[in-house]
Structure 1
Amino acid sequence: MIRVLIVEDQAILREGLARSVGDQSDMTVVAAIADASEALDVVLKERPDMILMDVCTEHDSNGIVAAARIKEELPECRIIIMTGMPEITFVDQAREAGVDSFVYKNVGIDELFGVMRSTLAGYCTFPKPPESIFSGTAALDDVELSILRLACEGKSRREIAAELFMSEGTVKRRISEILSKTGYDNIMRLAVHAVTEGSIVPNMERP
């Protein structure tokens, strides 16, 4: 019997997933929780074979951060990250955390079970990052993404410089490069757009 842990903050999705998984003749749900920060304790107690892990969970806990911690303790546990957010860094973060597969929540239940079974068989599934205002020639490097993320959190140029150990002049120059790439004339307008379309999810627990 395949033992499955579900980590999903939305009750209707968590309960629906638990019912669907429980209906499989070869699967059982060992626990269904809302907060990724509690996942490691549950994993060490229940020893699931697989985890379906949301990214944005209760109390701003980050499922990708939780997945990395779990992989350190129980590397054989298969983890599938799920999200409904088109955040441009989630797929790469998940790979770096060592998760096994990644799905967006718009997949059908049959496709999800297909990913679950192929992941258990040792295959990895990762989608391409979604198209956004940062696709193609507007793609930002890691430093630019860090600056934009902090701007999305309402940080001033001085605060961004302090957090990233840069001079304010360097931050100003990098912001100009971000605006040039994206075609915006103001970093706060860009930040509002990025948050509104879900390309950046601010104030999350960071890996």
Structure 2
Amino acid sequence: MRVAIIEDQTILRDSLARAIGQQDDMEVVAKASDAEDACDLVGKHMVDLVVMDVCTDNGSSGIVAARRIKERYPNTFVLVMTGMPEITFVQQAQDAGVDSFVYKNIRTDELLSIMRSTMEGYSTYPHKKDFCDEMPLNDEEIAILRLVCETKTRKEIAEELYLSEGTVKRHISEMLAKTGYDSILKLAVHAVSSGYIVPNMNED
């Protein structure tokens, strides 16, 4: 199994490379810190499996890179990992064609096992994190909250989501009623500080 590791944290990247390199059926053929380099590395090194972080150097998204890899090299498997409980990463990864998705708090032996099962055609995805249980917001409300986290005004949110300002105001009132917060800014601060929303993550 020819593996590429795309991870911006040097210590984690090197420790993963050592663990993978110790396996009889695996070989690390490429490493990088920026997801922008991932697609080129797959072609250059004939990679079988890419293990890639969501958030990498220079603001690059591993999910965006995964989509490019799956479009250009459909036979290459992609396993995406993250340490953030961002509530839309799992769905974004599924939409991009990512084969497996894991959180970084798993053990190394679990990761190796998932890498092998992914190569055998079995997808692994986590259950949704507890933000939606804690704060049961629908997709439109989450989209509004994300834009609030990006410091957009109500008018800008309305324009971006093709809604009226009155509709945005109504949604915000409903979000506050659901969550018990008395301010949308307080809710936004909680969402960002907890890692449930990562502002300005480009999905394109």
TM-score (norm 1): 0.94
Matched to 1:203, the amino acid is N
Which residue matches 1:106?
Answer: 105
Q: Deviations over 1:26-64 (max 9, x none)?
A: 211111101111211211222200010100111111111
The 5-angstrom pairing of residues 66-85 of structure 1 reads: 66-85=65-84
Tell me, in whole angstroms, the C-alpha distance in 1 between the residues paired with 2:136 and 2:61.
Answer: 24
Pick aligned residue for 2:195 from 186, 191, 198: 198
Matched to 2:133, the amino acid is S
Which residue matches 2:140?
Answer: 143
Shift of 1:139: 2.2
SS in 2 for 1:135: helix
48-57 vs 22-31, greater mean Cα deviation: 22-31
Give the number of aligned pairs: 204
SS in 2 for 1:99: coil
Tell me, in whole angstroms, the C-alpha distance in 2 between the residues paired with 1:32 and 1:79.
Answer: 14
| Structure 2 gap segments, 5+ residues each | none
Matched to 2:178, the amino acid is K
Tell me, in whole angstroms, the C-alpha distance in 1 between the residues paired with 2:136 and 2:79.
Answer: 26
Pick aligned residue for 1:153 from 139, 150, 153: 150
SS in 1 for 2:94: helix
Shift of 1:141: 2.0
Tell me, in whole angstroms, the C-alpha distance in 1 between the residues paired with 2:58 and 2:162.
Answer: 28
Which residue matches 1:178?
Answer: 175
Tell me, in whole angstroms, the C-alpha distance in 2 between the residues paired with 1:12 and 1:93.
Answer: 27
Percent identity between the aligned chains? 59
**CA RMSD in angstroms, aligned pairs only:** 1.2
SS in 1 for 2:159: helix
Q: Deviations over 1:108-163 (max 9, x none)?
A: 1111111011111111111101112x316x32222211110011111111111122
Tell me, in whole angstroms, the C-alpha distance in 2 between the residues paired with 1:83 and 1:96.
Answer: 16
The 5-angstrom pairing of residues 54-133 of structure 1 reads: 54-132=53-131
Tell me, in whole angstroms, the C-alpha distance in 2 between the residues paired with 1:25 and 1:194.
Answer: 42
SS in 1 for 2:78: strand
SS in 1 for 2:105: coil
Q: Which stretches of structure 1, 4 residues or more, deviate above 4 A after TM superposition? A: none
| Structure 1 gap segments, 5+ residues each | none
Tell me, in whole angstroms, the C-alpha distance in 1 between the residues paired with 2:173 and 2:36.
Answer: 37
